[in-house]
Amino acid sequence: MAKIILITGGARSGKSDYAQLRAEGIAGEHFFLASCPVIDEEMADRITRHKQDRRNGLWQTIEEEHDLAGVIEKLPNGSVCLLDCLTLWINNLMYQAEMSNEEFSEDVVREYTLQLLNAAKSYTGTLLMVSNEVGMGVVPDNPAARKYRDCVGRCNRLIAADADEVILVSCGLPLFLKGV
């Protein structure tokens, strides 16, 4: 059974840096599960910088925008997986549904998240998941942004409920909410 660690915080809070340092302190084969699509040149530059931050030879990068559960199900026993990030995963699923004229709601996110959690629970390593905390700002001014915020919030709550540890990172400092 996996050890599940959720690391959340605002944009640029230091959550990914904290997650990487935490993961690097755990023994085992290391996998970085990246959910970020390349949508423009600026995003490509960000992805390149993140990859350079992991050039210590420890990390194997797996890029997957949708089927995170499928990737986790195939990871080797005793390994360490850093999934960065759930927020972009929800964005990718929402976009995919929109392009396919399918409904996307908190109920749909719940099903995807439960599939992810089922894969996580059967994984026999350490899984660190990064996600933005989206509920601390203003209420978005349009329905699509409100739906996105609600769906990310639902995903975060479901993951946090089953996680062994939940850490909120603010100003680069970890605040331990659950476990440890």
Residue in 3, 50, 54, 147 annotated catalytic: 50
The Cα–Cα gap between 177 and 130 comes to 14
How many secondary structure helices (H) and strands (E) does the chain include?
Answer: 6, 7
Q: Based on the residue annotation, tell me whether 30 is a catalytic residue of this protein.
A: no
Q: Are 153 and 134 in contact (CB under 8 A)?
A: yes
Question: What is the separation, in whole angstroms, between the first and last Cα of the chain?
Answer: 17
SS3 labels along 126-156:
EEEEEEECCCCCCCCCCHHHHHHHHHHHHHH
User: Residue type at 132?
Assistant: N
> Catalytic amino acids?
50
